[in-house]
Structure 1
Amino acid sequence: MSARILLTCLPYYSHLVPVLVPVAKALQKAGHAVAVATAPAMADELARHGIEHLPLPHVRTLEQLLADPAVLSSPGMPGAEDEEAADTARAREEPGALTKAFAGPLAGIFARDLIAAAERWRPDVLVRECNEFGGYLAAVKLGLPRAVLDIAPGTAAHLPFLHDTLNAELVALGVLGDQGDPGRPNDGLLAAVVPARWYADPVPSLRCYRTDDPGVADFAPLAVAGLGTVAHTVVPEASRLLAAMALALGELPGPAVLSTGPAEWTGPRPPNVRIVPFAPQSRLLGRALLFLSHGGFGGVQEALRSGTPMVVLPLFADQPANARRVSELGLGVAVDPAEASPEVLASACLRVLAPEFRDRAAEFAGLVRELPGFDVLAEDLAALR
């Protein structure tokens, strides 16, 4: 029997395309009705993949939010906090102002638009990616079965700090009284895209699935590097780090690819390094021996799947947790961004090219291959209705 399954995500390419789109396609293939609710700005991307879009009219992209002084200065938003407080939160690996905003006022906006859309679309199940909390609020309000696509396991460490923020949003939606408790947003099916070994602590509701194999690129680089699609917007030192990465890659004994983002590149261009705005990262990693990145989980997950050892420069959000887990599992090394000179990065890269890192990464990739695919996840999600 077919089900109506509504997926939600923050309006970032890296949150939508690598996991949510393949899940939506698996649901379509299984005969279920599926739609993705997110910002209007994602309409073209979803249309490109042939997936129904429920546009949430008041949900904006990160670039749109950061460009609006009125939003940044409003209570609960990043601009309303002073720089010292943000630095302290970052040092403690507590969620920063932006994370709290996406679990607070921005989640409330998302939830209200989503409730209106869900009343028209009438889903049987609501599935959110773990960074998007409006879906959680709406599911509780509407009494819908829910599941979580765990596209960033490290963010689970933030949940205790977000308890009061989420509770306040549920109170505002009329779900709870002032003394209510929102429970745990990750209750229910937690769908992982890596083997259970990645999780340092057991998670009773965890089920693990294998993402689609993207194939491999024609070009075989020794190393692939970049800072993802979000860091360029929110990290002031991104340009400095990219320049250091380019110079470090220039010291390696083989070709490398560095993805620098949409801005015009004016930094160093070592002869063995291809500088591109955007690279087919997942396909390149299938042939690379090294991945140098900020440790966003999308890229980490791709490297785990391809068996590519990593050097990680954790910058924000779940990245410190990802870097720590990469080190603990012997799949690579972490470098403090403040110490990321070209010399330090080159040394770390050469170290990770050693056979022991390749062997451990290959072993982990074997665990990935043993996981069931998204066809099984589609069955599990439909069974929640």
Structure 2
Amino acid sequence: MEKLDGFRTCGAHVAVFNVPMAGHVVPTLGLVRELVERGHRVSYAVTAEFASQVRAVGAEPVLYEVPPQDEAPEDMAQGVTRVLGVNLGALPQLEAAFAEDRPDVVLYDVYAWTGPLLAARWDVPVVQLAPTHIPYDGLVQEFFGLEDISAIPGFPQLAQALASFGVPGGVHALTLAPPRCIAFFPESFQRRARTVRAGEAHWVGPLIGDRSFQGSWRAPAGGGTVVYVSLGSQFNRRPDFYRTCVEALAGPGRHLVLSVGAEVAAAGLGPLPEGVEVHAHVPQMDVLAAASVFVTHGGMGSVMEALSVGVPMVVVPQMAEQRVNATQVRELGLGVHLPREEATARALREAVTAVAGDEDIAASLAGMRCRIEEAGGAVAAAQVVEKVLADRPMSTR
């Protein structure tokens, strides 16, 4: 796509709407930084816990408040219904915040429906930001266990809101056929890519820029082969699983790093052998850069970060979306899928040993790294946004 230098020098007001989940916010930050560096002003609607990350990439946080949240439910239909409640609660807050500062374009996460609702009221274009698979034939069944997405509890409320704000097409068009979409992974990882129904689909790969705001980590000298274990930020209250990982993977010649979330870290895992680190959070890219194997829940962000540095994975998914990613990892030869109920100490040990020494997996990882580099990254994503801005009707400029 050609660069739109003439338009870019004018600058624009870009509004990003997101949900308060790390796996949805972090993938967008590289795009935000690129847009800011191109001279655009970016306002980012999110909760206070992500404000420092948003500021670190040059955007201005526009904060909304949500009630305290427990761990997300594993059932995705229930989870989406809860996220809908977050959206509806944030809607009047964000409408007021942007009342005197209407953006020129709205970028919105797949679950941040405040974005398209307000964009319809403002009559400005939208671009969906996808940290997970763009809807494909079978997604509703594989993600939600339903035959039709309208059966998600709470979606009647969403349908009413869409009608009230003048968003065309109802829940089916909004959720299954977005007009244009930027996906933060390569097309080769997209589930059933040929069945995607988005008007425009741009798979730009993961946008992994400066992560200094996450701190730093370095492998200890002489510590042995690094194995990294993390279940991400949403489904990490699994102390028994972490203890099983220690039992399976700690030992001479190996350095084990576990990222377990604040709650488990505060409670502790009991006595630990030498060569085991337990943290609430780690700068994941630093650890992956040193790791020989990643034992992961299979969230798309974590999978893409591992693939970007060529680390094989043992995927132990905690919910349906992650099981889809685990299927892709297995089918593309990038690691193994170990179902949670089968993740014994012996199975974990055997899986980690197998993927670490598999030449076919190493070759598949090398090929995927090439496809990630070819996807275009932050520059390609920013060019999509600028093309949308350039194509706006004159009356909305």
TM range (shorter): 0.7 to 0.9
What amino acid is the match of 1:175? S
Q: Which moved more, 1:163-172 or 1:241-250?
A: 163-172
Q: Which moved more, 1:197-206 or 1:350-359?
A: 197-206
Q: Give unpaired runs (5+ residues) of structure 1.
A: 68-77, 79-85
Aligned-residue offset at 1:302:
0.3
Aligned-residue offset at 1:364:
0.7
What does residue 394 of structure 2 align with? none
Q: Which residue of 374, 381, 386 corresponds with 1:377?
A: 381
Aligned-residue offset at 1:134:
2.6
Question: 1:32-51 residue pairs with structure 2 within 5 A?
Answer: 32-51=40-59
Q: Which residue of 226, 229, 234 corresponds with 1:230?
A: 234
Q: Does structure 2 conserve the Cα–Cα contact (< 8 Å) formed by 1:26 and 1:375? A: yes
What amino acid is the match of 1:152? T
Secondary structure at 1:222's aligned position in 2?
strand
Aligned-residue offset at 1:229:
1.7
1:261–1:379 Cα change, 3 Å: same
Q: Once the two structures are superposed, what CA deviation does each residue of 1:199-223 show, in whole Å capped at 9, x if it has no partner? A: 1322352212242356996428432
- 2:136 is aligned with 1:148: no
What does residue 164 of structure 2 align with? 175
- 2:180 is aligned with 1:189: yes
With normalisation by structure 1, the TM-score equals: 0.81
What does residue 83 of structure 1 align with? none
CA distance in 1, matches of 2:38, 2:151: 36
What does residue 369 of structure 2 align with? 365
Q: CA RMSD in A?
A: 2.9
With normalisation by structure 2, the TM-score equals: 0.79
Secondary structure at 1:270's aligned position in 2?
coil
- 2:342 is aligned with 1:339: yes
1:24–1:213 Cα change, 3 Å: closer
What amino acid is the match of 1:184? L
CA distance in 2, matches of 1:162, 1:252: 53
- 2:203 is aligned with 1:208: yes
CA distance in 2, matches of 1:362, 1:180: 41
Identity %: 24
What does residue 31 of structure 2 align with? 23
CA distance in 2, matches of 1:219, 1:248: 20
Aligned-residue offset at 1:146:
1.0
Q: Does structure 1 conserve the Cα–Cα contact (< 8 Å) formed by 2:239 and 2:269? A: no
Q: Once the two structures are superposed, what CA deviation does each residue of 1:278-306 show, in whole Å capped at 9, x if it has no partner? A: 22211221232211011111111101111
Q: Give unpaired runs (5+ residues) of structure 2.
A: 1-6, 390-397
Aligned-residue offset at 1:135:
2.0
CA distance in 2, matches of 1:328, 1:180: 34
What amino acid is the match of 1:38? V
Aligned-residue offset at 1:173:
5.9
How many residue pairs match? The answer is 351
- 2:66 is aligned with 1:59: yes
1:175–1:34 Cα change, 3 Å: same
